Amino acid sequence: MKGMGPKLRVGVLFGGRSGEHEVSLMSARSILAALDLNKYAVTQIGITHDGAWMTGENVLDAMLNAQTEELVGASFLPDPTHPGLYRIPEDTDDERFTHLVDLDIIFPVLHGTFGEDGTLQGFLEMADLAYVGAGVLGSSLGMDKGVFKDVMRFHDIPILDWIVVTRSQIEKDLDSVVEQTMHVAPFPLFVKPANLGSSVGVSKCTSASDLMEGLFEASRYDRRVIVEQGINAREIEVSVLGNEKPQASIPGEVIPSREFYSYEAKYVDDRSELLIPAPISPELTQNVQELAVEAYKAIDCAGMARVDFLLEKSGPTGVGPGELYLNELNTIPGFTRISMYPKLWEASGLPYPALVDRLIELALERKGERDRTERRYLGGTQDG
């Protein structure tokens, strides 16, 4: 963190073209409240459902109240020789982009597609901006549940069986897709968009008709759909923080208010329980933490991630916990004050405002490491 000099200029970016737009706004409110204005000069940048970038006064409140008339269109340029945030001309006769403010770092609070999947990270890399969270590779691998499972299997990290199908397969030959997916495992099966989070578009299927409905529902939100084995399990989550030497928090357990941890159970009915710490043995706690860090490193994650596990409720003998499986890794997890990621760190001794500070420090550290990379090849020496 910079010392007693000028404030660090932080752009908080939220909203987005994703089914998780509303979740992003919830997370952004908590982060904005936690940023110490004695340390940071904060610029709010909102992205509408349609993909319009906006800035101005109280952007978050304007978007929440659908009163964006006073906001102005703004964006970064992918040209690092013209840094900062620029106003987009409203008049088609005006071709000038007006410089609004310089920014030292971007704090993306964009869950789901066009924010958590590597697309935004690539844009920020082109603009040569420091940003909080995973890079292009870690973001894209963490986002695509199918490819993520491929990487986990390569690293011998335990996962449940799965298959990936495409929207075009579902639309052109549904019967064949259903037959393929029913060979993954006995019912129940879970159907999910491969590239989304917050349980948007997720269905628990207990019959072939459920499966058909679930496939069409998931394919509304992504062209790739994952179908995976369902088990009777406890949901254990752990937060990971760091770059080259990541650390894991104490684990927590989610007790969903519904049949599984659906969007409604997470954000609507307010009846799901979070048990912190998770009531599991010290040995299992250590195993969860070690696997979480291993998965984090395997996809070259940075900054933060929440890693989710499924723990069978009973072993082969029917007594005690059964097998532990890694379910998924979220590179921009929910970040409200009551979300699991910050709550686990708070219980581990790192309060919410200090966590936000630490993420900014890690982002600057990561940018410094990027800047060490040579961008020009000067050629080798040649013998006379």
pLDDT tens figures, 110-167: 998 899 999 999 999 999 999 999 999 999 999 999 999 999 999 999 999 999 999 9
Q: Tell me, what's the pLDDT at 3?
A: 45
Q: Tell me: pLDDT of 263 over 50.
A: no
Is domain 161-229 classified as CATH 3.30.1490.20? yes
Instruction: Give CA–CA dist 222/219, Å, rounded.
Output: 5
Instruction: Give CA–CA dist 303/108, Å, rounded.
Output: 12
Q: Tell me: pLDDT of 6 over 70.
A: yes
Residue 278's alpha-carbon distances to 247, 260, 281, 288, in angstroms, are 17, 18, 9, 11
Residue 75 identity (one-letter amino acid): S
265 pLDDT band, cuts 50/70/90, is: very low
Q: Tell me, what's the pLDDT at 383?
A: 54
Q: Tell me, what's the pLDDT at 77?
A: 94
Instruction: Give CA–CA dist 199/147, Å, rounded.
Output: 18
Q: Tell me: pLDDT of 318 over 60.
A: no
Q: Tokens standing for 179?
A: 């037959």
Indicate the CATH number of 8-131 among 3.40.50.2300, 3.10.580.10, 3.30.1330.10, 3.40.50.20.
Answer: 3.40.50.20
Question: pTM for this one?
Answer: 0.91
CB proximity list for 178: less than 8 A, separation 6 or greater: 208, 211, 212, 215
Q: Tell me, what's the pLDDT at 380?
A: 64
Q: Tell me, what's the pLDDT at 256?
A: 82
Q: Tell me, what's the pLDDT at 201?
A: 86
Cβ burial of 155 (10 Å; 0-12, 13-18, 19+) is middle
pLDDT digits (tens, 9 = 90+) for 189-202: 999 999 876 577 89
Topology adopted by domain 233-370: D-amino Acid Aminotransferase; Chain A, domain 1 (3.30.470)
321 pLDDT band, cuts 50/70/90, is: confident
Task: Name 81's bridge partners.
Answer: none
Domain with CATH 3.30.470.20 in the chain: 233-370
pLDDT digits (tens, 9 = 90+) for 322-350: 899 999 999 999 999 889 999 999 999 99
Phi and psi of 142, rounded to 5°? -65, -30
Domain with CATH 3.40.50.20 in the chain: 8-131
Lowest mean pLDDT among 80-94, 254-268, 282-296: 254-268
Per cent of the chain over pLDDT 70 is 90
Q: Give the rounded distance of the alpha carbon of 12 from its chain centre.
A: 15
CB proximity list for 169: less than 8 A, separation 6 or greater: 176, 177
Q: Tell me, what's the pLDDT at 22?
A: 92
Residue 35's alpha-carbon distances to 267, 316, 349, in angstroms, are 23, 49, 18
258 pLDDT band, cuts 50/70/90, is: low
Instruction: Give CA–CA dist 236/324, Å, rounded.
Output: 9
Instruction: Give CA–CA dist 337/352, Å, rounded.
Output: 7
